[in-house]
């Protein structure tokens, strides 16, 4: 639905943004749709949608989908944007033809490309405002590139003229036109009425047999309508991902920018070029990130933390003052204030490590709550466990949570002490303040403040070895020599 309904003469222009995302992306050589390939930790298209929805309300943003439409729709459906189906992909001009009915109620149509994710809301606003002020039929966002190979070239009416005669695609360009370094970003603003009055004049007689949206520049010019160019603030913003190499370059630019922003916000990142930090990650001031760390997805890390080398942290929430020691893997975990994790710990989804708790080397947790100040320092598996405060889990403890069919819970209450090398066969409960003797196999509940020992009694056979040694010596033949 259009975003304004007041009378035509005084009202603010109704602006729609359309994102072209129906193509297959042949040059990516992938079985997945191009716009779903990830840079900065999320799909190319998701970046463009995020920028667009900062400029107009989500329902006024339309994505043209076609190749693997359902997957593409699902990837961004939660943003509340609208979709237009281009069942057969016959070019960027054709993508707008199929959107005619959806866009008819608007005054201005801004076109973005689903494979160019560095576009910022500021630049979209600049395009919108330039177009709104000068009111041409079409405004093209352009950039000067050192290497314009692959992009459409912008043919201005004169060297310094703000008006454009045509856009020529690389394949159709003459050698002289290929030398032009001003390129078409693939982002445009159109007067909606004029666009759809003239769009049927597009032809598919070109090297690709496609309807090129870029041909609208010459078509509108011939119809004596004005076509203008406005330069992007930074040429980086318009980079498109047509190949894997271009995609990786975009990813790198995003991550460098992300690290710079975090440093501006007070985070120390040593050797940032070795760290992989996704766009949506949040980190508080005075946290230090060491070399070769990955912080991914929707992870949020508080202030005054230290994230040591070789850790990979995904979709986790880490509070203030936490130490993640080297080589930890966290996924869907929560770590409370002042806790220490690692080195070499693995926190799987549903792990909640309490305030000032310790999880040490070769400890794995899953769907487990470890209470305030509790410790599991060495070689342990804690799965489906509810562990209270001040508990000590000895080295080599295992919660046996799975019988081959179902998962069961182990409960260990406040202040309990689990001796090393114990197995706790769930469902089972160790009461408040209870002790479990080392190497026990606990199959029954242990009442509070009790001691449970569940292992074979030790047998000592005095002198047994000495006797055996003597009998061996007697039977051995003397060695000749
Ligand atoms: C396009 C421009 C080129 C410009 C470049 C900037 C055309 C003909 N050329 O080229 O001048 O310099 O962008 O990056 O427009 N798509 C559809 N439906 C289709 C075809 C494409 O939705 O039928 C989508 C693609 O998924 C993609 C976007 O449109 O997200 C651009 O298409 P692409 O094939 O990448 O165009 P370029 O060759 O990059
Ligand atoms: Ca492209």
The total of other beta-carbon atoms located within 10 Å of residue 45's CB is 27
Residue 287, pLDDT score: 98
Q: Are 346 and 332 spatial neighbours (Cβ–Cβ below 8 Å)?
A: no
Q: Is residue 32 annotated as a catalytic residue, yes or no?
A: no
Q: How many angstroms does the Cα of residue 21 sit away from the middle of ligand 2? A: 10
Q: How many angstroms does the Cα of residue 19 sit away from the middle of ligand 2? A: 12
Mutational test site, ligand 1, from 28, 90, 92, 207, max ligand atoms within 8 Å of CB: 92
Among protein residues, the one whose CA lies closest to atom 29 of ligand 1: 20
Gap between the Cα atoms of 192 and 166, Å rounded: 19
Q: Are 296 and 314 spatial neighbours (Cβ–Cβ below 8 Å)?
A: yes
The predicted-structure confidence for 127-161, as pLDDT tens digits, reads as follows: 999 999 999 999 999 999 999 999 999 999 998 89
Low-confidence residues of the chain: pLDDT under 70: 1-10, 477-481
Q: How many angstroms does the Cα of residue 434 sit away from the middle of ligand 2? A: 65
Ligand minimally distant from the alpha carbon of residue 153? 1
Q: How many angstroms does the Cα of residue 238 sit away from the middle of ligand 2? A: 10
Name residues whose C-beta falls within 8 Å of residue 476's C-beta, 6 or more positions apart in sequence: none
| 185 CA: nearest ligand 1 atom | 6
Among protein residues, the one whose CA lies closest to atom 20 of ligand 1: 91
Residue 477, pLDDT score: 67
Could you write out the DSSP letters of every residue in 387-415? E-TT-EE-TT-EEE-B-SS-B--EEE-TT
Among protein residues, the one whose CA lies closest to atom 22 of ligand 1: 22
Q: How many angstroms does the Cα of residue 116 sit away from the middle of ligand 2? A: 7
Q: Taking the mean position of all CA atoms in its chain, how far away is CA 423?
A: 38
The catalytically annotated residue of 37, 67, 208, 378 is 378
Ligand minimally distant from the alpha carbon of residue 170? 1
| 215 CA: nearest ligand 1 atom | 8
Among protein residues, the one whose CA lies closest to atom 19 of ligand 1: 91
Ligand minimally distant from the alpha carbon of residue 185? 1
Residue 1, pLDDT score: 53
Name residues whose C-beta falls within 8 Å of residue 273's C-beta, 6 or more positions apart in sequence: 256
Ligand minimally distant from the alpha carbon of residue 95? 1
Gap between the Cα atoms of 462 and 89, Å rounded: 87
Mutational test site, ligand 1, from 227, 240, 243, max ligand atoms within 8 Å of CB: 240
Mutational test site, ligand 1, from 150, 186, 247, max ligand atoms within 8 Å of CB: 186
The predicted-structure confidence for 307-318, as pLDDT tens digits, reads as follows: 999 999 999 999
CA dihedral 460, 465, 470, 473 (to 10 degrees): 160
| 88 CA: nearest ligand 1 atom | 23
Mutational test site, ligand 1, from 20, 145, 206, 215, max ligand atoms within 8 Å of CB: 20
Gap between the Cα atoms of 37 and 21, Å rounded: 12
DSSP state of 178: H
| 167 CA: nearest ligand 1 atom | 11
| 20 CA: nearest ligand 1 atom | 22
DSSP state of 303: S
| 152 CA: nearest ligand 1 atom | 11
Strands 182-191 and 138-144: antiparallel
Q: How many angstroms does the Cα of residue 167 sit away from the middle of ligand 1? A: 13
Q: How many angstroms does the Cα of residue 151 sit away from the middle of ligand 2? A: 8
CB atoms within 5 A of ion ligand 2 belong to 115, 240, 242
Ligand minimally distant from the alpha carbon of residue 187? 1
Please, is 12 exposed, middle or buried when counting C-beta atoms within 10 Å of its C-beta (0-12, 13-18, 19+)? Answer: exposed
Q: How many angstroms does the Cα of residue 240 sit away from the middle of ligand 2? A: 5
Q: How many angstroms does the Cα of residue 368 sit away from the middle of ligand 1? A: 48
Strands 346-347 and 334-335: unpaired
In this structure, the residues whose C-beta lies within 6 A of any atom of ligand 1 are: 20-23, 35, 64, 86, 89-92, 94-95, 113-116, 151-152, 167, 169, 183-186, 212-214, 240, 242
| 89 CA: nearest ligand 1 atom | 23
């Amino acid at each position: 639905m259009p975003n304004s309904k007041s009378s035509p003469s005084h009202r603010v222009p109704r602006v729609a943004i359309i994102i072209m995302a129906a193509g297959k992306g042949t040059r990516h050589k992938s079985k997945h749709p191009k716009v779903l390939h990830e840079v900065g930790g999320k799909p190319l298209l998701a970046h463009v949608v995020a920028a667009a929805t900062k400029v107009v309300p989500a329902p006024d943003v339309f994505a043209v989908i076609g190749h693997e439409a359902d997957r593409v729709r699902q990837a961004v459906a939660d943003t509340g944007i609208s979709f237009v189906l281009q069942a057969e992909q016959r070019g960027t001009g054709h993508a707008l033809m199929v959107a005619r009915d959806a866009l008819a109620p608007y005054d201005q149509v801004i076109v973005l490309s689903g494979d160019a994710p560095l576009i910022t809301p500021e630049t979209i606003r600049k395009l919108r405002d330039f177009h709104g002020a000068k009111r041409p039929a079409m405004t093209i966002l352009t950039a000067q590139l050192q290497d314009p190979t692959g992009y459409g070239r912008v043919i201005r009416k004169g060297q310094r003229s703000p008006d454009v005669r045509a856009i020529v695609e690389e394949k159709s360009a003459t050698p002289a036109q290929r030398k032009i370094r001003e390129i078409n970003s693939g982002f445009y603003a159109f007067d909606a009425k004029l666009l759809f009055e003239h769009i049927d004049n597009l032809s598919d007689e070109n090297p690709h047999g496609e309807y090129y949206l870029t041909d609208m520049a010459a078509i509108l010019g011939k119809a004596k309508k004005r076509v203008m160019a406005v330069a992007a603030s930074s040429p980086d913003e318009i980079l498109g991902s047509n190949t894997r190499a271009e995609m990786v370059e975009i990813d790198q630019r995003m991550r460098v920018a992300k690290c710079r922003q975090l440093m501006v916000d007070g985070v120390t990142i040593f050797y940032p070029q070795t760290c992989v930090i996704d766009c949506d990650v949040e980190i508080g001031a005075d946290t230090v990130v060491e070399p070769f760390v990955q912080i991914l997805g929707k992870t949020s890390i508080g202030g005054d933390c230290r994230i040591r080398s070789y850790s990979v942290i995904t979709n986790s929430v880490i509070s203030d003052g936490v130490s993640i020691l080297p080589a930890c893997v966290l996924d869907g975990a929560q770590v409370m204030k002042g806790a220490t994790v690692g080195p070499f710990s693995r926190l799987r989804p549903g792990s909640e490590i309490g305030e000032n708790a310790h999880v040490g080397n070769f400890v794995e947790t899953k769907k487990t709550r470890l209470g305030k100040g509790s410790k599991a320092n060495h070689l342990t598996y804690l799965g489906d466990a509810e562990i209270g405060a001040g508990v000590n889990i000895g080295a080599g403890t295992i919660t046996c949570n799975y019988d081959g069919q179902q998962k069961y819970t182990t409960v260990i209450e406040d202040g309990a002490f689990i001796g090393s090398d114990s197995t706790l066969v769930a469902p089972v409960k160790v009461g408040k303040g209870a002790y479990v003797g080392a190497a026990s196999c606990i199959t029954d509940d242990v009442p509070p403040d009790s001691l449970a020992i569940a292992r074979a009694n030790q047998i000592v056979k005095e002198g047994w070895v000495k006797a055996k040694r003597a009998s061996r010596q007697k039977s051995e033949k003397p060695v000749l020599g």
